[in-house]
Chain A
């Protein structure tokens, strides 16, 4: 006998047609899967009752372990046991700063770094797929059927490459991705903030090894990510480390063996967790050397030894607020995410900082997965109120490189997705038959300062004078934030397109840096843009003058030719410098020098055109 769930009124499904959908929090340290059952979002446990699945994959010659079993092997088989694979998603070897100190044997591959294991070379996409496969199997066993799809969460700062990699991993695991959803947005959904009134919310996410702060703005059911910041090497593990150091000091231990270190770290972690509920904790341990520890740690001592860690989260928080241009008073609510936000010292610090009690009534480990499950339930079509459809936004502007190395933004940052925008471009030179389209992501004015996503060429443009061709470039971003770009010459209909699968990922620090740079360099950028614009104008003018002189040089006296040549030389000299106003003056001078010439050419052309025609034709 099948087990049934209660449906929304009128939404009962036919037998064997249940729209089973899940939300997956694919985390750096731990992953979870959740679903909506009889209208209630719940996290699905494995057979042992664990809801968390450690995001650890161990490759052996003939099998793959995922989760707790793999985590236990971390120390004995470090080369083949991959932890925190999320950090490598969509990244090249050059993006991984601590590659040398990590235990993995990286292989630099085009597109994404790969890792050599005893079972062969594995890409981060394959490793993530192993985690997703386990979650999928757990979900299908718990729901008694095949899934129609899943919503998978990604950090708000994930760029196109990282999102695409996540989507590829899901497909490899046999999951139909209904949508990729930003983690802070999922947390806000779990708290029902999406059907609350409009306002700005902060999502404070302190996990096992990473800290993220996001400022979200909700308006008309749309969550905009105003700012993100964080510290990719700060989390609950650092708190354990502080307690561990204290224990070593208390016990006056000699340098520890690996086993004793692990033992004490486990004790440290237990102590930390006990202190969430109690004012003090007794810690006892017997090392393999026979040395003993019996000490009591109070919450006050714990708070004192970890205060600097808590403070380390507040600096990025302050920065995120500043980037969003907001003061603490404008934050309507604070959502706590990540197991480490259970610590009372963290809660107090956040409450003090935001001058309000943060939202903590949902389990902070589960809140992202729960929000994703709720979104999945809507997308699978299990709810009637379709006004619940939630929209996400593009984290960084998308655009093209134009003449002179400038960025032309086609889709500005924070545009809601899915979206499509078109813009017309034209040729720069007479007879130009091809155009190179360079797709960029970023906020800076110069193409070199933005991230290059893709390049492609539109060929077969019929030869025309410069500026006559109409090339429409269309940017399309789907609901997962993935981009495709097409270019079409309007008169002939020739077309070229690219699905953007960028070769390198951006580091999260890099994204925030790019955003910040865009603000701090605003002045430099404006100057650089002005300079480049003048350079493009100057080049165009010189080319046009030279072409005219080659054609109609006979109209000029020797002295006039020399004067124009001098003006060109002068302008070229100015172009070598970086003063845009000097170049502008050079352009004006050359313009002035050629005005008379242009007049004569015009007269000549008119005479030619009129020759042999009757006057009334022009009447």
Chain B
């Protein structure tokens, strides 16, 4: 079981954390919402969340709550640019289908 960051994503996260001036890593998760059942959560973590699974990629700590893990196990978080827009992208092998925008999905 693992969740990883691409090197590019890790660089951006490190940069954001440094500029933000606090935080121990990022926290990934899912919640049931959205047009296709589930949506990703992507947040800064100010302290190590109790009970979370902890992973590390390129020096960045990634926390995932155990309930979310089965849905995003094997995911690689990437950082991408699409035209003028840029941001993080979940490459999640568990996804069966997702809504047109890709913000929500089901497994």
Q: Taking the complex as formed, is A40 at the interface, i.e. its CB lies under 8 A from any CB of chain B?
A: yes
A268 to B89, CA, bound (A): 46
A46 CA / B33 CA spacing, docked (Å): 33
Is B13 among interface residues, defined by CB-CB distance under 8 A? yes
Which positions 1-52 of chain A face chain B at CB distance < 8 Å? Answer: 1-12, 14-16, 37-40, 44-47
Q: Known contacts A14-B33, A39-B19: does B43 contact A4 (CB below 8 Å)?
A: no
Interface residue tally of chain B, by bracket? Answer: 35 or more
Instruction: Decide yes or no whether A143 CB sits under 8 A from chain B.
Output: yes
| Complex: A142 Cα to B86 Cα, angstroms | 7
Confirm or deny: B87 has a beta carbon within 8 angstroms of a beta carbon on chain A.
yes
Q: In the complex, A240 Cα to B101 Cα: how many Å?
A: 49
Q: Which residues of B contact A45 (CB under 8 A)?
A: 84
CA distance A180 to B35 in the complex (A): 36
Whether B40 is near chain A, meaning CB under 8 Å from some CB there, is: yes
- With contacts A15-B99, A39-B16 known, is A6 near B84, CB below 8 A? no
Question: Is B44's CB under 8 angstroms from A15's CB?
Answer: no
Given contacts A3-B80, A40-B19, A144 and B85 within 8 Å (CB-CB): yes
Residue pair A8, B103 in contact (C-beta under 8 Å)? no
User: B93-106, CB under 8 A of A: which get 1 and which 0?
Assistant: 00000110111100
Q: Are B87 and A3 in contact (CB under 8 A)?
A: yes
B9 to chain A, nearest CB (A): 10
A40 touches B16 (CB 8 A): yes
Do the beta carbons of A3 and B86 come within 8 Å of each other? yes
Contact of A348 with B by CB under 8 A: no
Smallest CB separation, B6 vs chain A (Å): 14
Of the candidates B13, B46, B83, B99, the one whose C-beta lies within 8 Å of that of A141 is B83
- A71–B90 alpha-carbon span in the complex (Å): 42
Q: Which of B37-72 contact A (CB under 8 A)?
A: 39-46
On whether the beta carbons of B85 and A143 are closer than 8 Å, the reply is yes
Are the CB atoms of A14 and B39 closer together than 8 Å?
yes
Min Cβ gap A10→B in Å is: 7
Are A12 and B43 in contact, with the CB atoms below 8 A?
yes
How distant is the Cα of A83 from the Cα of B57 in the complex, in angstroms?
51
B39, A5: Cβ atoms closer than 8 Å:
no
Please tell me if the beta carbons of A4 and B87 are within 8 angstroms of each other in the complex: yes
A138 within 8 A of B: yes
A46 to B87, CA, bound (A): 17
Cross-chain contact A7 with B42 (CB below 8 angstroms): yes
B1-34 CB contacts (< 8 Å) to partner A? 12-13, 15-16, 19-20, 26-27, 31, 33-34
List the B side residues contacting A7 at CB < 8 Å.
41-44
Number of A-B contacts (CB under 8 A): 94
- Whether the Cβ atoms of A138 and B84 lie closer than 8 Å is yes
* A15 and B35 form a contact (CB under 8 A): yes
- The CA of A37 and the CA of B35, in the complex, are separated in Å by 24
Closest residue of B by beta carbon distance from A139? B84
CB pair B101–A9 under 8 Å, yes or no, is no
Q: How far is the CB of A184 from chain B (nearest CB, A)?
A: 23
**Given A7-B44, A12-B42, A15-B104; A39-B20 close (CB under 8 Å):** yes
Pick the residue among B20, B42, B85, B89 that contacts A142 (CB under 8 A). B85
Report which of A3, A4, A11 forms a contact with B82, defined as CB distance below 8 A: A3
Nearest chain A residue, comparing its CB with the CB of B38: A15
**Contact status A1-B102, CB under 8 Å:** yes
Indicate if the CB atoms of B42 and A5 lie closer than 8 Å: yes
Minimum CB distance partner of B82 in chain A: A3
Bound complex: CA A124 to CA B48 (Å) = 53
A540 to chain B: closest CB distance in Å?
65
With A37-B87, A141-B84 given, is the CB distance from A9 to B46 under 8 Å?
yes
Taking the nearest CB of chain B, how far is it from the CB of A49, in angstroms?
10
Contact A6 B85 (CB under 8 A): no
Do the beta carbons of A3 and B19 come within 8 Å of each other?
no
Smallest Cβ-Cβ distance to B77: which chain A residue: A4
Q: Across the interface, do A6 and B35 meet the contact criterion of CB distance under 8 Å?
A: no
Q: How many angstroms between the C-alpha atoms of A37 and B86 in the bound complex?
A: 9
Rounded to whole Å, the gap between the CB of A237 and the closest CB of chain B is 30
- Measured between beta carbons, the chain A residues less than 8 angstroms from B41 are 7, 12
Cα A6 to Cα B34 in complex, Å, equals 18
Q: How far is the CA of A576 from the CA of B45 in the complex (A)?
A: 77
In the complex the two chains form, what is the Cα distance from A1 to B40 in whole Å?
Answer: 12
In whole Å, how far is A437's beta carbon from the nearest beta carbon of chain B? 50
Least Cβ distance of B62 to chain A in Å?
12
CB distance from A384 to the nearest CB of B (A): 10
Q: Given known contacts A15-B99, A40-B20, is B89 in contact with A6 (CB within 8 Å)?
A: no
Q: Which 5 A-B pairs have the closest CB atoms?
A: A3-B87, A1-B102, A15-B103, A15-B34, A142-B84
Q: Which B residues fall within an 8 A CB radius of A?
A: 12-13, 15-16, 19-20, 26-27, 31, 33-35, 39-46, 80, 82-90, 98-99, 101-104
29 contacts between A and B (CB under 8 A): A1-B89, A2-B87, A2-B101, A2-B103, A3-B85, A4-B87, A4-B88, A5-B42, A7-B41, A7-B43, A8-B44, A9-B27, A9-B45, A12-B31, A12-B42, A12-B43, A14-B33, A15-B33, A15-B35, A15-B99, A15-B104, A16-B103, A37-B87, A39-B20, A39-B44, A141-B84, A142-B85, A144-B82, A144-B87
